[in-house]
Amino acid sequence: MTEIWRGVWVVAYREILRFVGDRARFLSSFAMPLLFLIIFGAGFTRTIGALAQGVNYIQFMYPGIIAMTVLTSSLFAGMSVVADREFGFLKEILVAPIGRTGIVLGKAAGGSLVALIQALVMLVLAPILGVKLTPTLVLSLIPVVIILSLGLSSLGVLIASFMQSQQGFQLFVQILIFPLIFLAGVFFPVNNVPAWMEIISKVNPLTYGVDAIRQIFLGSAHGLGVTVFGHVMTVPSEMALVGVLGAFLLLGAVIVFNRQE
Amino acid sequence: MKAIDVENLSRRFGKIEAVKEISFAIEEGEIFGFLGPNGAGKTTTINMLCTLLRPGGGSARVNGFDIVRQRSDVRRSIGLVFQQSTLDEQLSAEQNLRFHGYAYGVPAALREQRIHDLLTMVELYDRRQHKVRTFSGGMKRRLEIARGLLHLPRVLFLDEPTLGLDPQTRKHIWDYLHDLRQRENLTIFLTTHYMDEAENCGRIAVIDHGRIVAMDTPDGLKNAVGGDLVTFSTADAQAAAQFVREQYHVEPQIQDGQVRFHVTSGETFLPDFVREFPQRLLSVGLRRPTLEDVFLSLTGHEIRDSELDAKDLMRQHMQRWQR
Ligand SMILES: Nc1ncnc2c1ncn2[C@@H]1O[C@H](COP(=O)(O)OP(=O)(O)O)[C@@H](O)[C@H]1O
Ligand SMILES: [Mg+2]
C-alpha cells in the first residue's frame, strides 16, 4: 500500500514538474479556449443579446470554456503516458518498486492537478468579462474541477493504454474532443435544440460537468440549466454522476494497465 | 548466496523462442557478461530478471528473491541501465536522479549525498542543472549508470552499455565500472555483442539463438578452442598440412594458402616446430585466439554476420523513409 501511495505522488509530482518546466505547452494550452472566447464572444454577444436575466452570451459561454480547458488538459494526461512509452522513460517507472496501480493513479492525479491549475488561471479573465468572482465561488469550483478532471484523465490514460505513438493518440483524442465539446452545451443551452441533438447532449457526460461549472458561476436561477426528464439537475447530483463514471474509467485504466506487459 | 541464480529460464514470443531453458549462477562481486549477436535473447533475459517480463518457464532468483513472487524485493535490490535511454530529457540531470530517489523511497539525506557523490563520480556534477536533452550520448549513458546506482543496489544490470558510443567513451565507461565494482562491491551483469568489451568480464556466457553455448572466463573459453593459434606458409601447403597432421596429431586448416592449427602453450612449441619442419618456411605466426575465434568455433558463424544484417535492415528502412 505504501508503494502505491509513493507511486501516486512521485508520478504526479513529475507531471507537475514537466508542466511547469514547459512554458510553451502552458501558453499554447490556452490558445484554443481564448480563441473561442474572443471570436465566438465578439461574434455572437451582440446578435444574441441576453440569454437570461443578466446573463449575456459571453458570460454564458465562459464557464463552458473553462470546462473545455479542463477536458483538453486532462485528456492529455494520456499523452504523457504515450510519450513516456515512446521516449523510454516508462521503463524507468515500470521497474521502480511502485506498482502499476500507483502509476495510473499518479498519472490521473497529475493530469487532474494540471487541469486544476489551468482552470484557475482562466479565472483571471472573469473581471474582464464582467463575471463576479467570490471566494465561495472559487472554493466550490475546485472540487468540481477535480472530480471532472480525474475522470477525464483516467479516460486519457485508458486510451493511451491502447496507443503506441503520440500521433495516433493525438489524432484519436482530437476526433473525440470536438463532438464532446460541441455537444456538451458549451456554446448553447442544450434544452432548446432539436430532439436528436438533445438526446446526444444529455447522454454526453461532459454536459453535466459544463452545467455544474456554469451553475457555480451563474447560479441556478437563470433557467438555462440542464433538465433530465423535466427535473433541473443540481450541482451535487451532476457531480455524483460525473464522479461515478470517472471512478469506472479510473478502475478501467488501472485494470488495463496492470494486464499489459 | 548467489547474486543471480537461474534455472531453465525460457520465454517465447508467439512462434519465436527468444530464450530456451538457460541456466547459470553468478557469484557476488562478479562481472558477468552475456555475449551474443543481435536477437540472441540477451535483452529478453534481462527483462525477465528485472521483473519487467514474465518468464515462460523455469525460475530465477536475484539476490535471493524470486523474480515472480518477490518482484518488489527484486526491484529494490537491482539497478538497471537499459539498451535504449530511459531518461526524462525534459528534466535536468539532478531532477532525473531525484525522481529515482523518490520512486525507490531513498531517505532524503542519503539521497542528496548519493546524488552528489555519483554525479561527481561520472563527472556530471557541473552539468547537474542542465536539461538531459542537451547531453551527448556518452553523458546520458553515464547519467543512467549513476541513476541505476542511486538506491544502493547489489546487482547492476547493463544492457549493451556502450552501444553506439565511440571507443574513447567506451573505455571511459569501463573505467567507471571497474572502479565501481571495487568501491561498492557490486555484482555486474551485462550484455554485449562487442568482443573486446567481453574481455572486461570475469566470466562470459556465449549465447546464440536463445541458448547458452559456452560459459567460462575469457581465457578459459580461448583455451577450450584448443590453445594458441599457429599460422605459417610454405611453397606446398598440402604437404605441410600432411606433415603437421602426422607429426603433432592435430587437424590443420588451410586458409588463403596459410596453414593454421591450435596448440597448447605456443611459446615453447614454436622453436621446436621451426627446427623440425622439413621445408623452407616463408612465414610463421603465433597468436592467442580471440573471442571472435571462440564464437566462430562454437556457433559456426561470426558474430558480425547478424550484426551486419541488423544494420542493413536499418539502412533499408531509412532509405525507404527518405524516398
Ligand atoms: N516484445 C517482443 N515481441 C516479439 N518478439 C520479440 C519481442 N522481444 C524480443 N523478441 C524477439 O526475441 C528474440 C530475442 O530478442 P532480444 O532478447 O531483444 O535479443 P538481443 O537483446 O540479444 O538482441 C528476437 O528474435 C526478437 O525479435
Ligand atoms: Mg538487446
In this prediction the ipTM stands at: 0.85
Q: Which amino acid is at A119?
A: A
Give the distance (Å) from ligand 2 centre to CA of residue A70.
Answer: 41
Residue A206 has pLDDT above 70, yes or no: yes
Confidence band, pLDDT 50/70/90 cuts, at residue B323: very low
Q: Is B47 in the pocket of ligand 1 (CB under 6 A)?
A: no
The candidate with the shortest Cα–Cα distance to B241, out of B222, B257, B224, is B257
CB contact under 8 A, B53 and A93: no
Cβ(B266)–Cβ(B232) under 8 Å? no
Best mutation site among A25, A89, A93 for testing chain B: the one with the most B CBs within 10 Å? A89
Cell of B18: 527468444
3-state helix, strand, coil in chain B (%, to 5): 45, 25, 30
Residue A223 has pLDDT above 90, yes or no: no
Partners of B159 in the β-ladder: B191
SS3 assignment for chain A: CHHHHHHHHHHHHHHHHHHHHCHHHHHHCCHHHHHHHHHHHHHHHHHHCEEECCEEHHHHHHHHHHHHHHHHHHHHHHHHHHHHHHHCHHHHHHHCCCHHHHHHHHHHHHHHHHHHHHHHHHHHHHHHHCCCCCHHHHHHHHHHHHHHHHHHHHHHHHHHCCCCCHHHHHHHHHHHHHHHHHCCCCCCCHHHCCHHHHHHHHHCCHHHHHHHHHHHHHCCCCCCCCEECCEECCHHHHHHHHHHHHHHHHHHHHHHHHHCC
- C-alpha B156/C-alpha B177 separation (Å) is 10
Least CB-CB distance to A89: which of B75, B80, B86? B86
Distances (CA, A) of B182 to A144, B33, B153, B294: 56, 17, 14, 29
Q: Which helix (H) or strand (E) holds B12?
A: strand B4-13
- C-alpha B14/C-alpha B3 separation (Å) is 31
Confidence band, pLDDT 50/70/90 cuts, at residue B319: very low
- C-alpha B303/C-alpha B37 separation (Å) is 5
Q: Which residue has the higher pLDDT, B26 or B221?
A: B26
The torsion region of residue A223 among left (phi > 0), alpha (psi -120 to 50) and beta comes to left
Compute the mean pLDDT over every residue in chain A, rounded to the nearest whole number: 89
Confidence band, pLDDT 50/70/90 cuts, at residue A28: confident
Cβ-based interface (< 8 Å): residues of B facing A = 50-54, 72, 75-76, 80, 82, 84-91, 95, 99-100, 102-105
pLDDT digits (tens, 9 = 90+) for B252-291: 888 788 898 888 888 899 999 999 999 899 999 998 888 8
Give the distance (Å) from ligand 1 centre to CA of residue B170.
Answer: 25
Cell of B183: 568501491
- C-alpha B237/C-alpha B225 separation (Å) is 23
Q: What percent of chain A has pLDDT over 70?
A: 98
Q: Which helix (H) or strand (E) holds B212?
A: strand B211-216
Distances (CA, A) of B161 to A138, A251, B200: 52, 38, 13
Specify the pLDDT at position B225: 77
Specify the pLDDT at position B304: 63
pLDDT digits (tens, 9 = 90+) for B41-65: 999 999 999 999 999 999 999 999 9
The candidate with the shortest Cα–Cα distance to B62, out of B46, B48, B74, is B74
Angle at A177 between CA A39 and CA A126, to 5 degrees: 45
Q: Which amino acid is at A260?
A: Q
Alpha carbon A212 to chain centroid, angstroms: 12
- C-alpha B156/C-alpha B148 separation (Å) is 7
| Closest C-alpha residue for ligand 1 atom 24 | B39
Give the distance (Å) from ligand 1 centre to CA of residue B24.
Answer: 20
All residues at 6 or more sequence positions from B156 whose CB lies less than 8 Å from its CB, including other chains: B78, B79, B80, B81, B145, B148, B149, B180, B186, B187, B188, B189
Cell of A148: 471532472
Cell of B272: 621446436
Best mutation site among B46, B72, B86, B98 for testing chain A: the one with the most A CBs within 10 Å? B86
Residue B161, helix vs strand vs coil: coil
pLDDT digits (tens, 9 = 90+) for A129-186: 888 889 999 999 999 999 999 999 999 999 999 998 999 999 999 899 988 899 998 8
CB contact under 8 A, A97 and B51: no
Average pLDDT over residues B136-144: 92
CB contact under 8 A, B100 and A92: yes
All residues at 6 or more sequence positions from B313 whose CB lies less than 8 Å from its CB, including other chains: none
Confidence band, pLDDT 50/70/90 cuts, at residue B184: confident
Using the atom order of ligand 1, give the atom closest to the CA of residue B41. Answer: 17
The candidate with the shortest Cα–Cα distance to B181, out of B70, B29, B7, is B29
Q: What percent of chain B has pLDDT over 90?
A: 61
Q: Is B68 in the pocket of ligand 1 (CB under 6 A)?
A: no
CB contact under 8 A, B91 and A21: yes
CA contacts within 13 A on the Cβ side of B76: 15
Average pLDDT over residues B113-131: 94
Confidence band, pLDDT 50/70/90 cuts, at residue B311: low
pTM for this structure?
Answer: 0.83
Average pLDDT over residues A211-218: 92
- C-alpha A234/C-alpha A227 separation (Å) is 9
Compute the mean pLDDT over every residue in chain B, rounded to the nearest whole number: 88
Cβ(B17)–Cβ(B180) under 8 Å? no
**Radius of gyration of chain B from its Cα atoms, rounded to whole angstroms:** 24
For residue B72, the chain A residues in CB contact (below 8 A) are 3, 97, 99
For residue B102, the chain A residues in CB contact (below 8 A) are 6, 9-10, 13
Cβ(B293)–Cβ(B222) under 8 Å? yes
Domain-wise residue ranges, chain A: 2-259
Specify the pLDDT at position B307: 52
- C-alpha B224/C-alpha B121 separation (Å) is 38
Measure in Å the smallest separation between the Cα of A6 and chain B Cα atoms.
7
